[in-house]
Structure 1
């Protein structure tokens, strides 16, 4: 592992470089500016200050910018929730969880009560008090993040921070979704968007679990990536006249055991119900603001299962990072600077991104 020399620079700068927006809209609403940094004396008990070095860019960040989910984000907002960096300051009691100099990751869940039934069962995403990072609280599109110590995830020494960033949401999310499918080694799983940010990681986590993977995407670049990462079958949805039949043909005529759909396309969910086999599972991950029409008769007859899956819990994050640290999963990303965030969102809107985008917050 090549260590970033900034990992040893633990002093607090007086200014904090941020990407912030004051109203919802398009990429033109983002401002890159310097604001006063948090002082250690201002940290609440249990809080830390994390010097973020790298952050991924997730489709959820675009939803936060556009404000198109049913529940609006706070404004003004510093978005982002895939941050990897170094602890540089501790509030009272935070040393129970981390120490200055620890390499840590910031995830979608910034905090939860840890005391309700959902939290006790490790379903923090369902906690009534959970707070999403980069949505309800300021996130990782900045150099310094004030964060609850107990919800940081330590990053294994063998994993570069630039690699870890996208694992902290995209990797954890798709890793958990595969768990929700309740598959066995040798089962077929379809991953629409197999050349995209979540999808290309899903292909690798699925292969690591011994699953047989069918990728759906479009274009030669995404086909090459999908096949190199482990898709036995790749289907280009733009050039294949009947995607469902092609999947059934590839799986002995009866369909896949599961579809894990991370695409933000309603059509991808409707199609999945046509190519999963009897007793198959549709795992809903992507979050278009739309309705999924489901035939009650067909669902009962085929005994299909439809499962919603949000982000993983704290243990899922540890497991997903450890798998990546062992070299079993690699994030394919393009490195850009924080100043490039508006153009990154524009590329995301236009569907031009293969793999993942990671930002160096100092550039």
Structure 2
């Protein structure tokens, strides 16, 4: 099943070694329908978000290096243009679909059966172990593509496919209920501003921690009950005292850490109320959580690592966006701008999410 208009070549952004030159390849080979293996689908990628994970892949600063050469990207939104012969799927040519970080998994192991496909030993990751969405035509695996709801613009869907899914999963790990206080650290960033919206949509009382009046106003519009500018509480323990104060004097029931700063983790262990949950999401390099064993036990605290969501989490996350409950703050730029976007990300100069247009 294919579209006869599939070209032989397309545009892709590629690097050949970590931290090396990034090149725009205008003659990148487009896999043809006859080359697809059973289970594979060819997607014409129209928009793709840029995530900090993509920057980490280029820099090569994670414990396991990505494949090279690499086409990065894992927040791709586009349409199916070909499906390999022998593929069992409900997808059809023309369907709008999303490419996520999790490209494929076995679906047979214990982790997959429990809905934790990302921790499958055979998991493949878009833009890391297999080529991703920074190209006009991407080969994907049918069983892990996510259908995009009718009427949801693809440029809006793109960042939901990683940032949205990730924070929605993290909130489900928070062990909180409507009316509980939930702190979002790094609330104005690509992950954080979505976490605030999901948290507000399900009835949590939300405290956003970040800095700047622009983020204060933005997060208030997204439903944050309180904003704390961390730069105004730089003294020893001052931020912790302020978080406790605004959360009924007892501290929040949960803290979702999307911040790129490692200090946010240890602060959370100080300001959480008894039975509170720290959900680790952000990945600042060389960071360790130092939990005092006595107080962790005495307060019955939970520390939970939350990776990415599963296939169902992705469908739920997109549904919030389709119903207008969640809307990413995006700036659309051409695909060729990727290297410039990376440099702005390194400088912390990217509010919300950058989405690249692939055509």
With the shorter chain as reference, the TM-score category is over 0.9
State the partner residue of 2:292.
295
In 2, Cα distance between the equivalents of 1:159 and 1:256?
34
State the partner residue of 1:323.
320
Q: How many angstroms does 1:95 deviate by? A: 5.3
In 1, Cα distance between the equivalents of 2:53 and 2:145?
20
State whether structure 2 residue 344 is matched by structure 1 residue 347: yes
Count residues with an aligned counterpart: 352
Q: How many angstroms does 1:264 deviate by? A: 2.4
2:87 aligned to 88, 91, 94, which one?
94
In 2, Cα distance between the equivalents of 1:335 and 1:122?
33
Indicate the SS of the match to 2:253: strand
Q: How many angstroms does 1:131 deviate by? A: 0.8
Q: How does 1:236-251 map to 2 (within 5 A)?
A: 236-241=229-234, 242-251=238-247
> Normalized against structure 1, the TM-score is what?
0.95
Indicate the SS of the match to 2:274: strand
In 1, Cα distance between the equivalents of 2:152 and 2:223?
22
Q: How many angstroms does 1:94 deviate by? A: 2.9
Worse-superposed segment, 148-157 or 235-244: 235-244
1:48 aligned to 41, 44, 58, which one?
41
CA deviation vs aligned residue, 1:195-222 (integer Å, no higher than 9, x gap): 1101010001001110000001112222
Change (3 A) 1:10 1:278: farther
State the partner residue of 2:302.
305
Give the gaps of 5 or more residues in structure 1.
1-8
Q: Decide whether the 8 Å contact of 1:178 with 1:206 is kept in 2.
A: yes
2:151 aligned to 149, 158, 162, which one?
158
Indicate the SS of the match to 1:78: coil
Q: Decide whether the 8 Å contact of 2:186 with 2:260 is kept in 1.
A: no
State whether structure 2 residue 16 is matched by structure 1 residue 22: yes
> Normalized against structure 2, the TM-score is what?
0.96
Q: How many angstroms does 1:244 deviate by? A: 1.0
Q: Decide whether the 8 Å contact of 1:221 with 1:354 is kept in 2.
A: no
State the partner residue of 2:178.
185
Change (3 A) 1:232 1:99: same
State the partner residue of 1:33.
25
Q: How many angstroms does 1:10 deviate by? A: 7.3
CA deviation vs aligned residue, 1:161-213 (integer Å, no higher than 9, x gap): 00000000000000000000011000000001111101010001001110000
Q: How many angstroms does 1:228 deviate by? A: 1.1
State the partner residue of 1:263.
259
Worse-superposed segment, 202-211 or 283-292: 283-292
State whether structure 2 residue 200 is matched by structure 1 residue 204: no
Q: How does 1:68-83 map to 2 (within 5 A)?
A: 68-83=61-76
Q: Decide whether the 8 Å contact of 2:111 with 2:117 is kept in 1.
A: yes
Indicate the SS of the match to 1:213: strand
CA deviation vs aligned residue, 1:270-294 (integer Å, no higher than 9, x gap): 1111111111000000112322212
In 2, Cα distance between the equivalents of 1:233 and 1:59?
26
State the partner residue of 1:174.
167
State the partner residue of 2:5.
11
Give the gaps of 5 or more residues in structure 2.
none
Q: How many angstroms does 1:126 deviate by? A: 1.2
Q: Decide whether the 8 Å contact of 1:284 with 1:306 is kept in 2.
A: yes
1:105 aligned to 94, 98, 103, which one?
98
CA deviation vs aligned residue, 1:92-140 (integer Å, no higher than 9, x gap): 2335231100000000100000000110111101111111110000000
- What is the RMSD computed on CA atoms of the aligned residues? 1.2
